[in-house]
Structure 1
């Protein structure tokens, strides 16, 4: 992250290069990472419950934060920004590569399934609908089913399906094919961290510190507790339970800013949530891992 920030300051990279960097991750490095994880995974029935746990966390956050925003009497756009920033975690570009690089004690397969079968569909359904309900003018057209399907059926989703197919078919990948995929997948975490440093901007955070404090407590703290409760209630344990907890406690997703800004929600709150939670997650996630 520091390298990305220094590269921007030195003029080596610009903020305008960020979308290109994310397209590289989305199409060239994250799909191989997901494919190799699922192709090698020891598939267990418990993995089927991982998206259910993620959905339970999402719904609980919507109810808690939405109810609190109404009790506080916040105006709808600002309330929508809080709901979106707390309910949508960065499980794909941040959580999955972190879990994959974390070593023992976690389930990369559970992380891949959590993102592709829970967070990704919710991003383009629930989150878009919520942002529109809180901020968009009534006359603005709603996304069509075809557009939602195109947003969900991205390369990481196809990689998950291909990895599951290879695994279930019992196909052993030759080293000549597996090693290049490993190398591409390993580039995901460094590229995502560079992107975070490139895009983060702390200017103006003092104006929305109250909202950011609330988002931080909920997104990095309460969400982890909800993830544990949901996983335990579903009978998950061991590596899968720990993975659900960590994935639940990811910082606010950059897509929350993209979707919310498009629908007229306060960009200062959403951008600040991305910055603050991403920086503080470098402290809270290792602490959470040590606690478990």
Structure 2
């Protein structure tokens, strides 16, 4: 509950700072740059390093990959039918295809399922969401920002993406003990991600952006909060026979609102920043209604 209060306070603080004029309008760009280049790599180095790579992590970790593929297929199809702008499709794929499985997901799991569910949530987040963000997410961002980059350009963008570099380093360093001072430094830097991200989202949030974006926002959040979790639940439960506590946690994570970092990447690459910001902000708000309902639905697994 403390984590949820922290997120709400930081989001509201960002809104108030914008209204007060105490921070320059360029503040979100600076905050986002720090998050991508410092906070997220530090958190990755710390979190992945402590994970156990076991076969039991494969099923939960597969969900974010399938979720992203489902979002790409859905929004590409709907984009053609509705003749949506290219940037809009890119923003919807990024924010509709990746969930907030860590900063909102883990506190929600603890609130609804207890601490026993956190291990499964971490598997989904670290082996799934983080890796999707560092590979497919940055690939889509490069494609929709640069037009049609070459395979070499996409590969270069992935390889030079700081969270991806830290992901590889963390995997290579599994089994190597960090010195206590390094663990402490990474912990402090990683802890800045959630508050700075919500502060940035709150600062950049402008309800006026709803004008002209209402239908697109409804489309994106309808998919992310309702349709995608439903399709994934049908696939895993009836297609793969997934049941029990771990399946509940995995599918509960699938119902999380858009990943904050995905919205930041969309803004960093100038991929319909207003819509990306709305998806993240309103997604968090609406999830406080949809997640309890999903908890009831998934309780029978």
TM-score normalised by structure 1 residue count: 0.75
**Relative to 1, partners in 2 of residues 1:59 and 1:30: Cα closer, same or farther, differing over 3 Å?**
closer
Aligned residues: CA RMSD: 3.4
Matched, 1:29 2:39: yes
Contact 2:99-2:257 at 8 Å conserved across structures:
no
| Aligned-residue offset at 1:202 | 0.8
Partner of residue 65 from structure 2, selected from 55, 58, 64: 55
Deviates more, 1:211-220 or 1:55-64: 55-64
Partner of residue 154 from structure 2, selected from 148, 154, 170: 148
| Aligned-residue offset at 1:246 | 1.8
**Relative to 1, partners in 2 of residues 1:231 and 1:176: Cα closer, same or farther, differing over 3 Å?**
farther
Matched, 1:277 2:283: yes
TM-score normalised by structure 2 residue count: 0.73
Task: Name the CA distance, whole Å, in 1 between partners of 2:241 and 2:167.
Answer: 24
Structure-2 residue corresponding to 1:121? 135
SS in 2 for 1:250: coil
| Aligned-residue offset at 1:93 | 9.7
Structure-2 residue corresponding to 1:74? 82
Count of matched residue pairs? 274
Partner of residue 170 from structure 2, selected from 163, 169, 177: 163
| Aligned-residue offset at 1:85 | 4.1
Task: Name the CA distance, whole Å, in 2 between partners of 1:92 and 1:185.
Answer: 20
| Aligned-residue offset at 1:213 | 1.8
Structure-1 residue corresponding to 2:198? 193
Task: Name the CA distance, whole Å, in 2 between partners of 1:85 and 1:141.
Answer: 14
Unmatched segments (≥5 aa) in structure 2: 1-10
Matched, 1:87 2:101: no
SS in 2 for 1:222: helix
Task: Name the CA distance, whole Å, in 2 between partners of 1:92 and 1:13.
Answer: 29
| Aligned-residue offset at 1:145 | 3.1
Task: Name the CA distance, whole Å, in 2 between partners of 1:118 and 1:218.
Answer: 18
**Relative to 1, partners in 2 of residues 1:288 and 1:121: Cα closer, same or farther, differing over 3 Å?**
same
**Relative to 1, partners in 2 of residues 1:112 and 1:240: Cα closer, same or farther, differing over 3 Å?**
farther
Task: Name the CA distance, whole Å, in 1 between partners of 2:91 and 2:290.
Answer: 17
Aligned ranges 1:213-224 → 2 under 5 Å: 213-224=218-229
| Aligned-residue offset at 1:164 | 2.1
The C-alpha deviation readout for 1:3-39, integer Å capped at 9, x for no partner, is 1111112222233111111121122221121121111
Contact 1:53-1:230 at 8 Å conserved across structures:
no
